[in-house]
Amino acid sequence: MNKIIKNWSYLLISDISQSIIGFFAFMILAVKLNPEGFGLLNSYLALATLISVIGVNICNSQVITREITLNPKSSFQLFKKFLNLRIASFFLCLLILISYHFFYINLDNKIFLSILFIITATIFWDLSESIAFGHFVTKFTTIILVSFSFIWFLFVFSFPEENISLNLVIWIYALLFLSRAAIYFATSFFKFAKPNINTTTSTVGTIVLMSLPFLWMRGIGSITTQLPFLLLESNSSSEEVGYYSVGTRLVIPVIIAITTAMKAVFPFITKLYKENINDFNAQVKDAFSFILIIGSTISCLLTLTSFIWIKLLFGQEYIPSINVFNYEAWSGVMLTFDLFMATVLVSTFRQKILAIITTIDVIIIFPIIYFSSEFGAEGLSFAKLLGSITLFLFHVLMVQYYLKIDLKSKQFIYSCLYFIICVCISFFQFSLLIKFSLLTATLILFLNLKSSPFKLLTNKIALMYKAKY
């Protein structure tokens, strides 16, 4: 338990620092580049991310972490297999980018190279991080990420607005991305990939087979995360991409604590599933409730005040981003539930089931995203929220059916009810004072319920504190 807290703390420090630094960096960029330039930047980054999905999932990160965790004495042999697969996936990504360049949009040479550098960096950073996580080490991620985030911020902050350009921004970003990946790759290789006993029976073929469900579900899953940027640019305008980019990037604080916890917890819940299935089920059940109550509280506070701080930080140009953020913040709560469900399914070796669930998700959500992109950033975000709530109901049924975890308890029902009330409060057409009063009253009510999820959360924290001290 102490190691989980330690690893989560490292990742939390890393993601919070990176998020804060990145927040101010992209805020400055949004102002310096204006909505159109900022929209184009995010379209290029979305393209790089879409192609990178293939590069990192032919040999999936969770498969890498799981194999290293279960076979630590075979790290060197596994590293060579993983590296060969990642090199092969790099050339496949290069072929896709070249095809896009010649057959769809003729990219500027500097933009083309920048996207290629970002893809390369993503492929090898992910490999290095996955191996380190397999050895229960997260501190290297923290040190490298925070250092390079600060360097990126210094560039964005110090460069004169009159001399800044989209090409220069993406070029510097790509070079920094590539540099940090090279440093982590060297660190991971010399620290963990030492010749040792070969105790694993996994071959290149079995690794690819284990990764294929991830490749499928991450590929189609990226349709809901990255494709909206490209659809908005195609069906609306670059300015709408800019508004959407601001709204979606501001959601990061809503999901940061939970997603970093998932990274740190994944190796441990894999072991817990093997060692104690009853304890595993109890912990997972509690975690689903925590996600809803923590995510709902943070989202409600952020959306109640978004009309003040978004206008203050970004100026009048980005007022259309306010409603985009409000819708995306609540979609973010649903997303954290989905991510944890995925983590649990993977840790229990049910990635094929997860691939099927993800496929159904995309069949449901893709038409919603495609047709709503014609209505700009706000219309797209509202449609995504409705779609994410629909998928949440579907996922609750899947958790009960495949994991045999009963979510019909008072604790989980109260968590769902709390989510609904917070959503209603945030969208009520009342004054800010009345909204905060309603939120306060709701908190007091749920704190005093017999099966309150808040009481469970405080009890868990108290037990963790006693175990540590």
Q: Which two tokens stand for residue 303?
A: 């959306």
Q: Which two tokens stand for residue 299?
A: 């989202």
Instruction: Give the pLDDT of residue 324.
Output: 93
For 413, the enclosing helix (H) or strand (E) is helix 410-427
Q: What gap in Å lies between CA 464 and CA 213, rounded to an integer?
A: 35
Instruction: Give the pLDDT of residue 464.
Output: 47
Which residues have CB under 8 Å from 20's CB, separation 6+?
A: none
Instruction: Give the pLDDT of residue 346.
Output: 74
Q: What gap in Å lies between CA 381 and CA 293, rounded to an integer?
A: 22
Instruction: Give the pLDDT of residue 255.
Output: 62
- What's the number of CA atoms in the CB half-sphere (13 Å) around residue 46? 24
**CB count in 10 Å sphere of residue 157:** 12
Which residues have CB under 8 Å from 109's CB, separation 6+?
A: none
Instruction: Give the pLDDT of residue 266.
Output: 55
pLDDT per position in the chain (469 positions), as tens? 455 556 556 666 666 677 778 778 888 888 888 888 888 898 899 999 999 999 998 888 888 888 888 777 777 888 888 889 999 999 999 999 999 888 877 788 889 999 999 999 999 998 888 888 777 777 777 788 888 888 999 988 888 877 788 888 999 999 999 999 999 999 888 888 776 666 666 778 888 888 887 787 777 777 777 888 888 888 888 889 999 988 887 886 666 655 555 555 555 666 666 666 777 777 777 778 888 888 888 889 989 999 888 888 888 888 999 999 999 999 988 888 888 888 788 777 777 788 788 888 888 888 999 899 999 999 999 999 999 999 999 998 888 888 778 788 888 888 899 999 999 999 888 888 999 999 999 888 887 777 677 766 666 555 544 544 4
Are the beta carbons of 55 and 122 closer than 8 angstroms? yes
Note the maximum CA span of the chain. 66
Q: How far is CA 8 from CA 4, 15, 125, 216, in A?
A: 6, 10, 19, 28
Instruction: Give the pLDDT of residue 467.
Output: 47
Q: Which two tokens stand for residue 217?
A: 């579900």
Are the beta carbons of 418 and 446 closer than 8 angstroms? yes
Q: What is the CA radius of gyration of the chain?
A: 22
Q: Which two tokens stand for residue 245?
A: 């980019």
Instruction: Give the pLDDT of residue 138.
Output: 72
Which residues have CB under 8 Å from 465's CB, separation 6+?
A: none
